[in-house]
């Protein structure tokens, strides 16, 4: 969840690392720090609690310059956010520094072991045990040891020995004044990405691609238990056992401008407005709008194997899980395959039963969510065909599955996921069509109607966004309703997962309590909550359960609750019955979730802005959840 950046080259390393950290701030933002090797060979460490900007100010007062540096932006696990717990952490002699993303699960035991050998601790973090362990092994047995021979090899050996003592996932970067010509990075388990970036006589390290986009697009990804040794002229990669490995250098095709806010005040708003474009990119080259045929070559699932599939289990977390709930409807309707959806964090611990010819499908924007990766690992070990609907090409989920369907949404930086949700819904429709075509479960007319509306979908998304902009509706709505402390979101069928996604959006960026509920369950309990202090957001497009939704809206109104309803814009009758109507255009019912979620994204965004909150960096959250 934390962000790591490293640089070795000829430029001002502090500036390069700060820029990378700024681009990675979505990974954690409760404190930040960096260490730079200055011209006297001293490791200058600067750390500060709070947002990155505070570190920038500290560096203005106390500059630190050099051409090799590592930096970190933190999401606290062990120890509260403070300067003393901010990374980098240094060895007792100040000659070695470490930044880490992950958790040392056996840190208490290692801490006691090191204390028994004379080490004292200056922070509450688990990370500090790593730097002391490296110091211990580098000095051939601790504080009084003599030090290992063998130049840079000695540092590698010490890092390897230290990492072999750790339990739990960790990604680390190490810098030592004894080896000023190199930077080390390693990955243990599912600790989030470690990306090596290639420049000309300069090399980079980062947790995520967006940190590097301003510098290079040639990258290598470290696998579990691999270590990269970076010099100014390149990188060599070895296993933690010391065996050299050949990792391909791949070209990332993201446009660097895509990772900038541009004219928008927040990434979230930019990403909401990019949805028409990202959906068009998701559809491109996979769907032949003329014949309706879908091609998914990177899925590596032949039509024959698709025909034999008996079950699909979708595993995901957060917003991606809600996309999965929509996916269940899509796959069952279009391909007639029994589909289950599970939280990845639950799936991995319930000893899932996997029979032959089953697909376990992960949905993950980042491709680095620790629980999703673990669920995939579990499924693969039990013999399932594994696939991922994933945005970040080259991420761990992308690499570890038998097949993948990429979202093509471009970098998503806002912590609140928006365009990845709609892109994954479109990928799920494509998968449903592909499987339906292979299994011959699709009536020609149904396929034609769906394909026709898929072609219109980017334009329909544009209509929702244009209407929102022209009417100023959502800022006004936020002004009138942003003061409530609780919200209920209701939907049925395909709109139930959208209700849950809408409630999650409101919770995570505006800190207002919101529950997404299946509307049909209201009378089994939650209706007791309804009064004038609990507005309801109802999803009521004209679909197969429309009448039922209308009755439920009436039941809320009868109890004095205000209703904001997402309705088709032709539905004047319902619009007149509710307190506020949020209009969307008519589309094929299977595509309607792509449109109905947009008003909920905009509402959450404007409520958070109206409350003066930091939309892109909501408290306690981070973009990629790489620790359990």
Q: How far apart are CA 31 and CA 605, in angstroms?
A: 25
Q: Is 230 or 504 the residue whose CB approaches ligand M6R more closely?
A: 504
Of 376, 393, 416, 431, the one binding ligand M6R by CB under 6 A: 416
Spatial neighbors of 67 by CB under 8 A, at least 6 apart, are 7, 8, 9, 10, 11, 12, 13, 37
At what angle are helices 275-283 and 444-471 packed, to 10 degrees? 160
> Is residue 318 close enough to count as binding ligand M6R by CB under 6 A?
yes
**Minimum Å distance from CB 317 to ligand M6R?**
4
**Minimum Å distance from CB 615 to ligand M6R?**
11
3-state secondary structure 484-506: CCEEEEEECCCHHHHHHHHHHHH
> Is residue 192 close enough to count as binding ligand M6R by CB under 6 A?
no
Q: Is 198 or 603 the residue whose CB approaches ligand M6R more closely?
A: 603
> Is residue 365 close enough to count as binding ligand M6R by CB under 6 A?
yes
Of 211, 401, 415, 460, the one binding ligand M6R by CB under 6 A: 415
Of 282, 339, 369, 626, the one binding ligand M6R by CB under 6 A: 369
User: Token digits for 549?
Assistant: 């939704």
Which residue is closest to ligand M6R by CB?
318
Active site residue 507: no
Yes or no: say if 462 and 280 are a contact pair by the CB < 8 Å rule.
no
Yes or no: say if 59 and 102 are a contact pair by the CB < 8 Å rule.
no
Q: How far are the Cα atoms of 50, 161, 216, 421 from residue 627, in angstroms, in the given order?
A: 21, 23, 28, 22
The 372-391 site mask, x for binding ligand M6R (CB under 6 A), equals: x-------------------
Span near ligand M6R by CB under 6 A; candidates 238-246, 366-374, 457-465, 600-608: 366-374
> Is residue 317 close enough to count as binding ligand M6R by CB under 6 A?
yes
Q: How far apart are CA 341 and CA 356, in angstroms?
A: 18
Which parts of 604-623 interact with ligand M6R (CB under 6 A)?
621
Among 18, 120, 14, which residue's Cα sits nearest to residue 63?
Answer: 14
Tell me phi and psi for residue 250, to 5 degrees: -110, 155
Tell me phi and psi for residue 102, to 5 degrees: 135, -160
Interior CA angle at 441 toward 360 and 376, to 5°?
5
Of 31, 100, 101, 366, the one binding ligand M6R by CB under 6 A: 366
Exposure of 533 in the CB half-sphere (CA atoms within 13 A):
6
Q: Is 14 or 417 the residue whose CB approaches ligand M6R more closely?
A: 417
**Minimum Å distance from CB 198 to ligand M6R?**
25
> Is residue 215 close enough to count as binding ligand M6R by CB under 6 A?
no
**Minimum Å distance from CB 624 to ligand M6R?**
6
**What is the length of the chain?**
628
> Is residue 268 close enough to count as binding ligand M6R by CB under 6 A?
no
Q: Is 176 or 320 the residue whose CB approaches ligand M6R more closely?
A: 320
> Is residue 101 close enough to count as binding ligand M6R by CB under 6 A?
no
Catalytic entry in 2, 215, 317, 401:
2
> Is residue 205 close enough to count as binding ligand M6R by CB under 6 A?
no
> Is residue 530 close enough to count as binding ligand M6R by CB under 6 A?
no
> Is residue 193 close enough to count as binding ligand M6R by CB under 6 A?
no
> Is residue 451 close enough to count as binding ligand M6R by CB under 6 A?
no
> Is residue 626 close enough to count as binding ligand M6R by CB under 6 A?
no
What is the H or E stretch that residue 325 is in? helix 318-335
Pairing between β-strand 226-231 and β-strand 183-188 as defined by DSSP bridges: antiparallel
> Is residue 598 close enough to count as binding ligand M6R by CB under 6 A?
no
> Is residue 226 close enough to count as binding ligand M6R by CB under 6 A?
no
Verify cis geometry, omega within 30 degrees of 0, for the bond prior to 88: yes
Interior CA angle at 84 toward 82 and 86, to 5°?
70
Active site residue 401: no
The alpha carbons of the chain give a radius of gyration, in whole angstroms, of 26
> Is residue 345 close enough to count as binding ligand M6R by CB under 6 A?
no
> Is residue 625 close enough to count as binding ligand M6R by CB under 6 A?
yes
Spatial neighbors of 247 by CB under 8 A, at least 6 apart, are 220, 221, 222, 223, 226, 237
Span near ligand M6R by CB under 6 A; candidates 65-73, 143-151, 360-368, 403-411: 360-368
- Active site (catalytic) residues: 2, 623
Can you give the binding site for ligand M6R, defined by CB under 6 A? 317-320, 364-366, 369, 372, 415-417, 504, 508, 621, 624-625
């Amino acid at each position: 969840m934390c962000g790591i950046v490293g640089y070795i080259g000829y430029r001002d390393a502090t500036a390069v690392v700060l820029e990378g950290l700024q681009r990675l701030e979505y990974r954690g933002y409760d404190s930040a720090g960096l260490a730079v090797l200055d011209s006297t060979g001293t490791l200058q460490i600067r750390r500060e609690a709070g947002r990155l900007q505070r570190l920038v100010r500290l560096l203005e007062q106390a500059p630190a310059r050099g051409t090799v540096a590592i930096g970190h932006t933190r999401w606290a696990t062990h120890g509260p956010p403070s300067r003393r717990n901010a990374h980098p952490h240094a060895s007792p002699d100040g000659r070695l520094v470490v930044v880490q993303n992950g958790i040392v699960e056996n840190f208490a035991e290692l801490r006691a072991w090191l204390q028994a050998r004379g080490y004292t601790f200056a922070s509450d973090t688990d990370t500090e045990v790593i730097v002391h362990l490296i110091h211990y092994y580098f000095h051939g047995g601790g504080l009084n040891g003599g030090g290992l021979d063998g130049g840079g090899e000695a540092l590698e050996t010490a890092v390897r020995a230290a990492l072999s003592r750790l339990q739990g996932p960790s990604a680390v970067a190490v810098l030592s004044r004894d080896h000023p010509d190199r930077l080390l990075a390693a990955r243990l388990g599912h600790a989030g990405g470690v990306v090596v970036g290639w420049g000309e006589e300069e090399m980079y390290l980062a947790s995520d691609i967006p940190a590097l986009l301003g510098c290079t697009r040639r990258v290598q990804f470290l696998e579990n238990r691999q270590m990269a040794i970076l010099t100014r002229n390149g990188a060599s990669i070895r296993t933690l056992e010391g065996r050299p490995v050949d990792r391909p250098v791949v070209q990332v095709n993201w446009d660097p401008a895509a990772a900038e806010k541009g004219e928008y005040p927040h990434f979230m708003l930019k990403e909401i407005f990019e949805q028409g474009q990202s959906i068009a990119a998701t559809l491109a080259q996979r769907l032949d709008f003329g014949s309706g045929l879908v091609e998914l070559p990177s899925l590596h699932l032949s039509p024959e194997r698709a025909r034999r599939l008996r079950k699909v289990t979708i595993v995901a977390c957060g917003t991606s899980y809600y996309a999965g709930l929509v996916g269940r409807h899509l796959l069952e309707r279009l391909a007639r395959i029994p589909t289950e959806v599970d939280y990845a964090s639950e799936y991995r611990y319930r000893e899932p039963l996997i029979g032959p010819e089953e697909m376990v499908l992960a949905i993950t924007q980042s491709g680095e969510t620790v629980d999703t990766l673990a669920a995939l690992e579990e499924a693969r070990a039990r013999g399932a065909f594994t696939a991922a609907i994933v945005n970040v090409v080259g991420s761990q989920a992308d690499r570890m599955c038998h097949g993948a369907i990429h979202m093509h949404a471009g970098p998503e930086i806002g912590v609140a996921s928006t365009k990845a949700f709609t892109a994954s819904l479109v990928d799920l429709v494509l998968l449903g069509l592909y499987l339906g075509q292979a299994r011959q479960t699709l009536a020609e007319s149904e396929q034609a109607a769906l394909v026709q509306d898929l072609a219109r979908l980017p334009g329909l998304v544009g209509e929702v966004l244009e209407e929102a902009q022209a009417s100023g509706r959502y800022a006004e709505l936020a002004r009138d309703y942003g003061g409530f402390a609780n919200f209920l979101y209701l939907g049925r069928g395909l709109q139930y997962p959208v209700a849950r996604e809408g409630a999650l959006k409101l919770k995570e960026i505006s800190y207002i309590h919101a529950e997404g509920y299946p509307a049909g369950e209201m009378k089994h309990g939650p209706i007791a909550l309804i009064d004038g202090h609990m507005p309801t957001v109802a999803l009521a497009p004209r679909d197969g359960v429309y009448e039922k939704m209308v009755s439920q809206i009436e039941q809320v109104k009868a109890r004095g609750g205000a209703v904001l309803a997402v309705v088709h814009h032709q539905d004047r009758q319902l619009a007149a019955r509710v307190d506020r109507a949020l209009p969307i255009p008519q589309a094929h019912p299977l595509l309607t979730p792509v449109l109905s979620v947009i008003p909920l994204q905009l509402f959450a965004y404007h409520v958070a802005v109206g409350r003066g909150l930091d939309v892109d960096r909501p408290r306690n959250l981070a973009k990629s959840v790489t620790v359990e």
